[in-house]
Structure 1
Amino acid sequence: MGLSRKEQVFLALLGASGVSGLTALILLLVEATSVLLPTDIKFGIVFDAGSSHTSLFLYQWPANKENGTGVVSQALACQVEGPGISSYTSNPAQAGESLQGCLEEALVLIPEAQHRRTPTFLGATAGMRLLSQKNSSQARDIFAAVTQVLGRSPVDFWGAELLAGQDEGAFGWITVNYGLETLVKYSFTGEWIRPPEETLVGALDMGGASTQITFVPGGPILDKSTQADFRLYGSDYSVYTHSYLCFGRDQILSRLLVGLVQSRPAALLRHPCYLSGYQTTLALAPLYESPCVHTTPPLSLSQNLTVEGTGNPGACVSAIRELFNFSSCQGQEDCAFDGVYQPPLRGQFYVEASYPGQDRWLRDYCASGLYILTLLHEGYGFSEETWPSLEFRKQAGGVDIGWTLGYMLNLTGMIPADAPAQWWAVNHGVWVAKVVFMVLALVAVLGAASVQLFWLQD
């Protein structure tokens, strides 16, 4: 007697389930391939405490790094409200409190689980250098207040320190060249490569209290005190760098005014760099408080000084040149001014283009422009032939020009890299087939059970 239809269907479903299950089992035995999953993103925070303002920069980079250095990108730039921290001598606690707004803004962008692993550093530049010379106890109080605020925040606080002028220039050079992809570049073949050394550019920076020049010279650096060395992305770099304290924009304008007062003591000062017809009254004593001013106010003058503009560019340049000591370099080939060693200029240069402040600086635009021309031409040695090699930029490659990114790139070399997580995986097609056969086996088994339980008896 033959099998009933119920028995035939039951046996067919059992057979299908067996074949599907056996096929899925065979596919399970296919060798898996080891794959490396992407690493986590790491974060770092740097405060740039300049003479006139403070900025926070948040950076991020893949934790596995590239040849010992992180591939860093800028995630946030936040300008702290208020003046530079050196201005809080009468209320040091406020210097620390002023940083909290930008810090909270940065922490929102960092996963909470990584807050305690985020290195945070504050570097103070020329404004605090001058304050440290003028009143070291006031400078210590401000650093203590800043340290207290950042130290109790949920980050890995690395300290608040006075950044050396040489470091400010050298880190700024790193920032510019990294942004322009002259240090490392991702090629079309999917590899990180080092561009030719000829593509490296120099960096010029004009701050409120100091100015820096940094570049790779064409020959050896004879004065080793002006040399900075780095190892980035597996390559070594030696750059010439020098920072001129008291030659920043704010200090030059103050020194220029003091120089005019000293040369022509009178209740009414005629200023050749101010527009003709412009007049203002200034307090005299604050002009002599800076460590950059080495003279005392004339006893014959009152506390206030009336200043009237004459709009005389020639006289303005002559007054500006008095702030330089060009004669100290006479007879010396590799010398800039004030007796400072400088090798011959080489390559293209980038200059930071932005400066804080708006209308309050309007009266000083003429003096600032003529000062920069004098510094570049007679100080650093740029000529009509090399003017085209100068570019004024606020950013390079999407990152703000300044020392902070260069500092963070250098810092990543000290932060251990996280190894990529290792997992085992099979070919996508094999994985899909395995799932399909497992589903078919399950459906066949359920079908066979349904036939056995619910099919009506013949």
Structure 2
Amino acid sequence: MERARKVIPTSQHTETPVYLGATAGMRLLRMENERLADKILAAVANSISSYPFDFQGARIITGQEEGAYGWITINYLLDRFTQKLSWFNLKPSEGDTQETYGALDLGGASTQITFVPQNETTESSNNTLHFRLYGKNYGVYTHSFLCYGKDQALLQKLSKDLQASGTNGTIHDPCFHSGYRRKMNMSDLYEAPCTRRFEATFPFLAFPEVEIRGTGNYRQCRRSILQLFNTSYCPYSSCSFNGIFLPPLQGNFGAFSAFYYVMEFLNLTSEEESTDKKMINTLEKFCSQPWEELQMYFGEVKEKYLSEYCFSGTYILALLLNGYHFTAESWKNIHFMGKVRSTSVGWTLGYMLNLTNMIPSEEPLSTPLSHSTYVFLMVLFSLILVIVVIIGIFIFHKPSYFWKDMV
């Protein structure tokens, strides 16, 4: 907010709207303690209201909204809502809109998948949203998996592993590097809403804390993570996991937030070289590196983040391939995005665009020219003008030559 106060001209402060949307972390807190969640929102609202902006309120958005706003952001930045242009990009082709990108979002507490399926009929109305943007109707599939963000997924996995480890309070974890040690309070595990189903099996009294000892093995880590996805039950023609409807994947997808940050660290965001096999090979090598060696190479990275990249990368691969059912062939349709045209990709821009009604429901009467089209036209007309002037000067100085050729 201080940054905004400095960047935005003082004369526009009172005209500038401010919105605050809270996501999965606050959704989890509201499930556990609604009164506390309300107190936090009230405190945040009170703080923001002290600034000279037009504060429009703070609220917790739903998982569906989070997924939809991410989808709007990507396609808005990629100009996918506007019509294709023909005739040197001057005339819109009637009824010919560009295919939209799907959106893959990964946070700490939840993950979202959103896209326009090829078949408009849906088997689960709870997973469908309808938009009319720029004169076209969109039937969008979206689902938010609460507790399957990377941080909550790790807590689930540790809770599950603690069950299997017996009662010695030690977890030998292949998702952490060999030589790595971490101690966690039992309360940090059993108080997390996403691990509540494991609560009855925790040896609370005997072991107030648990020690994690890394063994650094990608394939064992992957097997452990796959147990978080229940793919044995599906009441629909096709599902992702945990009995949630998922239509066949369609088109390209933009993967952002933690999807991008983890893949960027692993140097796997290059589309020319990105394959699932390359990611597997990279993770096998990375996870097997000893912790001391890793600290020497990446000493500037915060220990918590560095220690969890093996798990996060393996989890992303399992989620995309086994959870969402991308294949080796469709992997090329995933584009890991941090920014598009210098703008960060995420749900927040779509949230703002929706609340400020900046995306019209109908196609504008005149399609604004893109910068490249504008430059092309200016150069073209300038050349035509120069040629006309040269011909005019030539005719003016040698009119007899011109008329002789005409005869």
The amino acid across from 2:107 in the alignment is G
* TM-score of the two chains, using structure 2 as the length reference: 0.71
In the TM superposition, residue 238 of structure 1 has moved relative to its aligned partner by 1.8
SS in 2 for 1:409: helix
Letter in 1 for 2:80: T
Name the structure 1 match of 2:311: 367
The correspondence for 2:225, drawn from 313, 320, 323, is 320
Q: Which SS does the other structure have where 1:328 is aligned?
A: coil
Query: Which residue is equivalent to 2:182?
Result: 280
| Shift, 1:113, TM fit | 2.9
**Which SS does the other structure have where 1:314 is aligned?**
helix
Q: What is the CA–CA distance in structure 1 between the aligned matches of 2:94 and 2:57, rounded to whole Å?
A: 33
2:83–2:96 contact (8 Å) kept in structure 1:
no
- Match among 335, 341, 345 for residue 245 of structure 2: 341
Q: Give 1:192 shift.
A: 8.1
Superposed CA deviations along residues 281-313 of structure 1, whole A, max 9, x for unmatched, are 222221111111122222464212222112232
* TM-aligned CA distance change 1:155 to 1:415, over 3 Å: farther
Q: Pick which of 172-181 and 111-120 moved more.
A: 111-120
Which of 212, 234, 237 is 2:112 aligned to? 212
Instruction: Write the letter of the residue equivalent to 1:203.
Output: A
| Structure 2 residue matching 1:214: 3-state secondary structure | strand
Say whether the 8 Å CA contact 2:186–2:204 is kept in structure 1: no
2-side partners of 1:197 and 1:209: how far apart?
35
**1:196/1:388 Cα in 2 relative to 1: closer, same or farther (>3 Å)?**
farther
Show the counterpart of 2:133.
232
Which structure has more RCO (C-alpha within 8 Å, separation ≥ 6)?
1
**Residues 8-47 of structure 1 mapped to structure 2, 5 A cutoff:** none
The structure carrying a bigger helix percent of its residues is 2
Counterparts of 1:313 and 1:340, CA distance in 2 = 27
Q: Supply the distance in 1 between the matched residues of 2:310 and 2:163 (Cα, whole angstroms).
A: 21
Q: Which residue of 2 aligns with 1:135?
A: 33
The residue aligned with 2:80 is: 182
Please list, as runs of the form range in 1=range in 2, the aligned pairs for 1:28-427 lying within 5 A after superposition: 103-184=1-82, 196-220=96-120, 221-265=122-166, 266-294=168-196, 295-296=198-199, 297-299=202-204, 301-329=206-234, 332-352=236-256, 353-354=260-261, 358-413=302-357
**C-alpha separation in 1, matches of 2:18 and 2:82:** 25
The normalised TM-score by structure 1 is 0.64
User: Relative to 1, partners in 2 of residues 1:229 and 1:211: Cα closer, same or farther, differing over 3 Å?
Assistant: same
Measure the CA separation in 2 of the matches of 1:141 and 1:232: 36
Contact kept? 2:162, 2:170, Cα under 8 Å: no
Distance of 1:347 and 1:415 partners within structure 2: 23
CA distance in 2: counterparts of 1:107 and 1:234, whole angstroms? 36
Offset of residue 184 of structure 1: 2.5
- Per-residue deviation at 1:130? 0.8
Q: Which moved more, 1:106-115 or 1:366-375?
A: 106-115
1:39 matched residue in structure 2? none
Contact in 2 for aligned 1:210/1:243 (Cα 8 Å): yes
User: Cα distance 1:147–1:227, how it changes in 2: closer, same or farther (>3 A)?
Assistant: same
Could you tell which deviates more after superposition, 368-377 or 107-116?
107-116
CA distance in 1: counterparts of 2:359 and 2:102, whole angstroms: 28
Which residue matches 1:98? Answer: none
Q: Deviations over 1:311-365 (max 9, x none)?
A: 2323212211121111122x74321111101110000111011369743221221
Uncovered stretches (5+) of structure 2, i.e. residues with no partner: 266-300, 361-407
Contact 2:183 2:210 survives alignment (8 Å):
yes
Question: How many residue pairs get matched?
Answer: 313
Q: CA deviation at 1:275?
A: 1.6
Partner amino acid, structure 1, of 2:104: L
Structure 1, unpaired ranges of 5+? 1-102, 417-458
Q: CA-atom RMSD, angstroms?
A: 2.5
Amino acid at match of 2:222: V
Of all paired residues, the percent bearing the same amino acid is 43
8 A Cα contact 1:203 1:215, kept in partner: yes
The AA in structure 1 aligned to 2:175 is: C
